[in-house]
Amino acid sequence: MSYEEVILDHWRHPRNKGRLPSPDASAVEANPLCGDVVRLELALRDGRVEDVRFDGEGCAISQAAASLLTEMIKGKTVEEARGLKDEDMLGALGNVVKTRLSCALLPLRALRKALGLGS
Amino acid sequence: MLNVRGDFPILSRMVNGHPLVYLDSAATAHKPVAVVEAERDFYVRAYANVRRGVYLLAAEATELYEAARAKVARFVGARPEEIVFTRGTTEALNLVAWGLGETRVRPRDELLVTEMEHHANLLPWQELARRRGAQLLAARITSQGELDLGDFQSKLSSRTRVVSVVHVSNVLGTINPVQEIAQWAHEVGAVVVVDAAQSVPHMPVDVGELGADLLAFSGHKMLGPTGIGVLWGRAELLAEMPPWLTGGEMIREAWIDRAVWADPPARFEGGTPPIAQAVALGSAVDYLQGIGMDRVHSHGQGLTAQALEGLRARPYVTVYGPPDPSRRGALVAFNLQGIHPHDVATLLDQEGIAIRAGHHCTQPLHRRLGIPASCRASFYLYNTPEEVEQLLAALDRVKETLG
Ligand SMILES: Cc1ncc(COP(=O)(O)O)c(C=O)c1O
């Protein structure tokens, strides 16, 4: 019984968790059915994600995915961040069972919302 | 101990490399071979539409369909003409809310439910209240997860037209005192509806003893097929209610501009009913009666007591509902400290253990408990003490993995 090491690692040691003092973009996404919530805050400079924080609560997969996502986009251009696909997120998480895809993709939905894209 | 596992072929399948440990019978129960065969047999030997053909096959199919109704009636101590076949509990409750809404509910009247209702026994009354300008009230639960009877009584008044309560909560496991509730409700002239989805499959239920007026349950939770459920109603009440589905086979006479309804139960069975499913439900009733509902009940209580004790012995577990297993149905909802129920269920699934995680269609109850979701293990006649032990041991491993 276990999750992928990357999920356990980010669940136990979340990266970039907290709030930014004055974010340039932010969004909250929630899954009301299970109570997962993820808030993403971005500091943007010269078309890049200069800094990012996440906050939230919920299952290990949604929170680990949020933590991992902050690492994936930090320092990237806004265009690169916008271009992230579901498969990129799922690939980075390793093996996510199909019953939990909505947990795994919740943070990415928050990112798209923060960047003004439909989820 | 019951020894019935051999009757349930699915229980010997493997899940993720482990033998299946199915602890989600409150969501839906598995089927014994006898029930699967009964449905197949009906299609192979006697299938035709009911109540319309004049040929032999149609007569035989109708007889089998009506025989199933009689079996279900006997099972809950009712008369066959008081048994309406529906698609399930949800449809039965919607049918009742519609019918009573037409005959009994006026603006500013009140409807009373409880905080522990399944959405199936909440939303139909919400809709009725909205449609008729009535008010929907919900009696509170105590910190022990039982119905707060004082609050219930204080919300009951001469304006209350309908009281609708769950018999056994699908989350707390609480067995509600329907007899008392019915007495109080009748004193103010209210109609009493019971959501028996979690009681009829697990314990002896006699509608006469309960004293309610209408009662709903689902076939698929009591070893029967999906797509078939039951509404029991007192003859006088069924007779006063208008139909909810209009169309074929539910009228006595029809003209271009009007129709005269058939008597119940046909009035509420518009269209071709789930015929084979009704026949197979009859066989599920036979199967349960062959074992005896007293034995089914005590088996479930034994497993529940064992699970409660094991869960309570684990300091990282919070258990919901009454502590006394004799006051509960065959299920336990719980949470592991700091671990989301979906993670618990996913990790248990890796070992072949199937439990439910989520809000179990009781969002207001979960809000009242202050949690977004919970885990639920539920038991039936085919579960064993070994499976309960497997669950408990696996929870320790979940705790180690994510705690
Ligand atoms: C207490 C309760 N009421 C109603 C229902 C709804 O039953 P069905 O989905 O079979 O209509 C359920 C089952 O989920 C239940 O547990």
Instruction: Count the Cβ atoms, other than its own, within 10 Å of residue B348.
Output: 24
Q: How confident is the model at residue B81 (pLDDT cuts 50, 70, 90)?
A: very high
Distance separating alpha carbons of residues B255 and B378, to the nearest angstrom: 51
Q: Does B394 touch chain A (CB under 8 A)?
A: yes
3-state secondary structure chain A: CCCCHHHHHHHHCCCCECCCCCCCEEEEEEECCCCEEEEEEEEEECCEEEEEEEEEECCHHHHHHHHHHHHHHCCCEHHHHHCCCHHHHHHHHCCCCHHHHHHHHHHHHHHHHHCCCCC
Cross-chain Cβ contact B351/A1 below 8 Å: yes
Residue of chain A whose Cα is closest to the Cα of B370: A35
Are B401 and A61 in contact (CB < 8 Å)? Answer: no
Q: Above 80 in pLDDT, residue B174?
A: yes
- Beta-strand relationship, B331-336 and B374-378: antiparallel
Domain topology for B5-30+293-402: Aspartate Aminotransferase, domain 1 (3.90.1150)
Assess whether the C-beta atom of B218 lies below 6 angstroms from ligand 1.
yes
Distance CA B151, CA B224 (A): 37
Q: Please compute the mean of the pLDDT values over residues B80-86 and round it to a whole number.
A: 98
Pairing between β-strand B191-195 and β-strand B214-218 as defined by DSSP bridges: parallel
Is residue B260 within 8 A of residue B251, CB to CB? The reply is: yes
Instruction: Read off the tokens for B274.
Output: 């789930």
CA B296 to chain centre: 16
Query: Each residue of B183-232: pLDDT tens digit?
Result: 999 999 999 999 999 999 999 999 999 999 999 999 999 999 999 999 99
Q: Crossing angle, helix B385-402 and helix A5-12, to 10 degrees?
A: 60
**CATH code linked to domain B35-289:** 3.40.640.10
For chain A, say whether B358 makes contact (Cβ under 8 Å).
yes
Q: Ligand 1 within 6 A of B335 CB?
A: no
Q: What is the pLDDT of residue A95?
A: 84
Residue from B93, B166, B170 to probe ligand 1 pocket by mutation (most atoms less than 8 Å from CB): B170
pLDDT greater than 60 at residue B112: yes
Backbone φ, ψ for residue B232 (5° rounding) = -100, 140
pLDDT in tens, B346-382: 999 999 999 999 999 999 999 999 999 999 999 999 9
* Token digits of residue B390: 């497997």
Cβ-Cβ contacts under 8 Å between A and B: the total is 52
* 3-state SS assignment for residue B375: strand
- Pocket flag, ligand 1, residue B195 (CB < 6 Å): yes
Where b means 16+ CB within 10 Å and e means fewer, B247-260 reads: eebbbeeeeeeeee
Residue of A nearest to B372 (CA): A35
Determine the distance in angstroms separating the CA of B394 from the nearest CA of chain A, rounded to an integer.
9
The letter for the amino acid at B244 is W
Residue intervals in chain B for CATH 3.90.1150.10? 5-30+293-402
Dist. CA A53–CA A15, nearest whole Å: 8
Q: Of the residues B86, B118, B172, which should be mutated to test ligand 1's pocket, given the most ligand atoms within 8 Å of the CB?
A: B118
Ligand 1 close to Cβ of residue B168 (< 6 A): no
A59–B401 CB contact, under 8 Å: no
Does the annotation count B375 as an active-site position? no
Domains and CATH numbers, chain A: 3-114 (3.90.1010.10)
Q: Which residues of B touch A60 (CB under 8 A)?
A: 339-340, 343, 402
Please state, in angstroms and rounded to a whole number, the distance separating the CA atoms of residues B390 and B217: 31
Average pLDDT of B84-98? 98
> From the CA of A88, how many Å to the nearest CA of chain B?
22
Out of B350, B371, B402, the one facing A11 most closely (by C-beta) is: B402
Give the integer Cα–Cα distance in Å for A26 and A20: 10
Please report which confidence band the pLDDT of residue B318 belongs to, taking 50, 70 and 90 as the band edges: very high
Q: Which of B214, B147, B212, B150 is nearest to B185 (CA)?
A: B212
Picking from B130, B212, B222, B124, the residue whose alpha carbon sits closest to that of residue B163 is: B212
Q: Where in chain B is the domain with CATH 3.40.640.10?
A: 35-289
Section B32-37 average pLDDT? 98
Residues of chain A scoring pLDDT < 50: none
Q: What percent of chain B has pLDDT over 90?
A: 98
Three-state SS at B265: coil
Please give the distance, rounded to the nearest whole angstrom, from the Cα atom of residue B374 to the centre of ligand 1: 17
Residue in chain A closest to B398 (alpha carbons) equals: A1
Ligand 1 atom having least distance to the Cα of B361: 14
In A, which residues are within 8 Å of B358 by CB distance? 33-34
